[in-house]
Amino acid sequence: MSALLEVSDLSVEFRSRAGTVHVLDHVALSIARGETLAVVGESGSGKSVAAFSIMGILDDAARIPNGQVQFGGMDLLNANRRDLDEVRGREMAMIFQSPRTALNPIRKVGHQIEDVLRRHGPVARGDAKRRAIEALEQVRIPDPARRYDAYPFELSGGLCQRVMIAIALCCKPRLLIADEPITGLDVTTQATIMDLLAELGRETGLATLLITHDLALASQYADRIAVMHAGQVVETAPTASLFAAPRHPYTAGLMAATPTSTTSLDALESVPGRIPPLNADLPVCRFAERCPRRVAECDDPGPRFDADVQAPDHYFACRRPL
């Protein structure tokens, strides 16, 4: 299957007063049409920066020393401005980490959707309203015609989140990047939103890049999972094979730290230590300092990425895998 989005060998650095910060290091991710890829990892591991690089909205202090981002056959890092603007927002859209701050508090939600529609091409006035209401309907907002006139503060957190998704989806993108789309919502609202995205994937071939802390959520909704640590993808595999046999010690650590319906407090473990500062001279393996399985050869230079012989889609960056 050819990928819709293919990120390869992507590195991102930030210039800062403390020197250069190596935030992404040779990151590779790919998503096929209709597929959901979850990116999981600790806070600061580079999940949002990866999403921003794909969307082309990195801040000015960022530099991309190497890498490619291919989307539907187009080379996004070297494309001209016009082509890029056409793709971003229309063919791929993003839901940000904090929905309330991303909506304009003093503009009716219906008008906010129309603004986005107009930005991507001329729309007749009556047509805009009809399409905005359709967009609200598509995300299963009850009574969409009435909600068209609502201001964000009149809507609960769950409804605001759905409006954000309606805005992201109104131009019928092929790729949706969802950065922690449901944190802070209760589990029934979470499930409704995730079901909606899964349904759109099946019906329209929408591909989703789902960024989350929550491994259980990723396991329930993603086809594949990429685990990030300190700016590197340390393991990537189809969801079932990742859970059946995690190969990277960090993945196993995250799993042991996730409370499930049967874990006891004693059985819950945390990953020791923290992500190393990304401005220092970084070791070959950025997890080595925290790793219970570290051996001398972990510090040898050279490539670390490997594939599982039994499961060809399963990659991990470890010299001493589980």
Partner 1 sequence: MLDIQGLSKLYPVSDGESAPMRALRGWARHQPRPAPKLHAVDDVSFTIGTGESVGLVGESGCGKSTLVSLITRLIEPSAGTILFEGKDIAAINTRAFARTPERGAIQVVFQDPHDSLNPRHSAFDAIAEPLRRLKKRSTAECRPRVAELARDVGFPEELLDRLPHQLSGGQKARVNIARALAPEPRLLVLDEPTSALDVSVQAVILKLLDDLRTRLGISYLFVSHDLNVVRLLCDRVIVMYLGRIVETGTAEQVFEQAAHPYTRALISAIPRTIEESPVERIHLPGDPRSPVNPDPNVCRFYGRCPRGVDLCQESEPRLLSMAPEHSAACHFAEEVQESALAQG
Ligand X SMILES: Nc1ncnc2c1ncn2[C@@H]1O[C@H](COP(=O)(O)OP(=O)(O)OP(=O)(O)O)[C@@H](O)[C@H]1O
Q: Which does 16 bind (CB under 5 to 8 A by kind): Mg ion, ligand X, partner 1, none?
A: ligand X
Among 17, 59, 202, 270, binds ligand X (CB under 6 A): 59
Which region among 78-86, 198-206, 269-277, 296-304 touches partner 1 (by CB under 8 A)? 269-277
- For partner 1, the closer of residues 55 and 218 by Cβ is 218
d(CA 10, CA 65): 8
Kind of pairing, strands 92-95 and 74-75?
A: unpaired
Q: Is 21 in the site for ligand X (CB under 6 A)?
A: yes
- 23 versus 185: smaller Cβ distance to partner 1: 185
Q: What are phi and psi of 281, to 5 degrees?
A: -70, 115
Of the two residues 48 and 251, which places its CB atom closer to Mg ion in the complex? 48
Task: Tell me the sheet residues that pair with 30.
Answer: 6
Instruction: Take residue 31 and report the two structure tokens written for it.
Output: 């998503």
Q: How far apart are CB 5 and ligand X at their closest, in Å?
A: 18
189 vs 204 by CB, closer to partner 1 = 189
Our finding on whether 112 is near Mg ion (CB under 5 A) is no
> What contacts 299, CB < 8 A, 6 or more positions away?
283, 284, 285, 288
Q: Does 64 bind ligand X (CB under 6 A)?
A: no
CB-CB contact of 208 with 197 (8 Å): yes
Among positions 157, 288, 294, 308, the unique one binding ligand X when judged by CB under 6 A: 157
44 forms part of the interface with ligand X (CB under 6 A): yes
Residues 205-244 close enough to bind partner 1 by CB under 8 A: 213-217, 219-220, 239-240, 243-244
**Nearer to partner 1 (CB atom), residue 89 or residue 157:** 157
Which of 10-18, 49-57, 201-209, 253-261 is the region at the interface with partner 1 (rule: CB under 8 A)?
A: 253-261
Q: How many CB atoms lie within 10 A of CB 179?
A: 21
Exposed, middle or buried by CB within 10 Å (0-12, 13-18, 19+), for 126?
A: exposed
Contact window for partner 1 (CB under 8 A) among 50-58, 129-137, 247-255, 277-285: 247-255
Residue 146 near partner 1 by CB under 8 A: no
b/e map of 241-259 (b: 16 or more CB within 10 Å)?
A: bbeebbbbbbbbbbbeebe
Candidates 18, 57, 268, 307: give the one binding partner 1 (CB under 8 A).
268
What, of partner 1, ligand X, Mg ion, none, does residue 318 touch, CB below 5 to 8 Å by kind?
none
Helices (runs of H) and strands (runs of E) counted in the chain: 11, 12
Backbone angles phi, psi at 216, to 5 degrees: -65, -45
Does the protein bind Mg ion through residue 53 (CB under 5 A)?
A: no
Contact residue for ligand X among 48, 112, 232, 236 (CB under 6 A): 48
Picking from 36, 6, 4, 8, the residue whose alpha carbon sits closest to that of residue 178 is 36
Nearest one of 175, 177, 181, 238 to 207, comparing CA atoms: 175
What does the alpha-carbon distance between residue 307 and residue 315 come to, in Å, rounded to a whole number?
Answer: 4
For partner 1, give the closer residue by CB, 257 or 284. Answer: 257
Q: Which of residues 12-51 bind Mg ion (CB under 5 A)?
A: 48
Residues that bind Mg ion (CB under 5 A): 48
